[in-house]
């Protein structure tokens, strides 16, 4: 399995939920990765080297407060990326 940051999968899954309730101006892969990178840099990593450890960490994030914290960071990151995009968006060309 190797060493993995179990929070990455959690943030990625919550990003999918976040997208359902917040319309991101640009949903391209580049902007998505920028948002995820910003969130992952602000949330403490949880590294594990086993499936059991990964499951334990995922159960921690069933806590509504931790999910709320991640959603708040997703909103913050989405606003930052929307106002500082690293590419040109073609609108109605």
pLDDT at position 24 is 86
Residues of the chain falling short of pLDDT 50: 93
- Report if residue 89 sits inside a domain: no
Radius of gyration, CA atoms only, the chain = 15
- Report if residue 92 sits inside a domain: no
- Report if residue 47 sits inside a domain: yes
pLDDT at position 37 is 97
Q: Structurally, how many domains does the chain consist of? A: 1
Residue 13: both structure tokens together: 């899954």
* C-beta atoms surrounding 19 within 10 Å: 15
* Sign of the torsion angle spanned by Cα atoms 41, 42, 48, 52: negative
Range of the domain at 43: 4-83
| pTM as predicted | 0.85
């Amino acid at each position: 399995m190797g060493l993995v940051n179990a929070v990455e999968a959690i943030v990625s899954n919550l990003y999918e939920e976040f997208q359902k309730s917040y319309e991101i101006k640009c949903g391209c892969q580049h902007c998505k990765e920028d948002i995820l990178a910003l969130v992952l840099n602000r949330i403490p990593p949880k590294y594990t080297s086993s499936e059991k450890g990964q499951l334990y960490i995922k159960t921690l994030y069933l806590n509504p407060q931790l999910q709320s914290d991640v959603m708040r960071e997703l909103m913050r990151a989405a606003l930052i990326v929307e106002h500082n995009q690293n590419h040109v968006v073609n609108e109605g060309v």
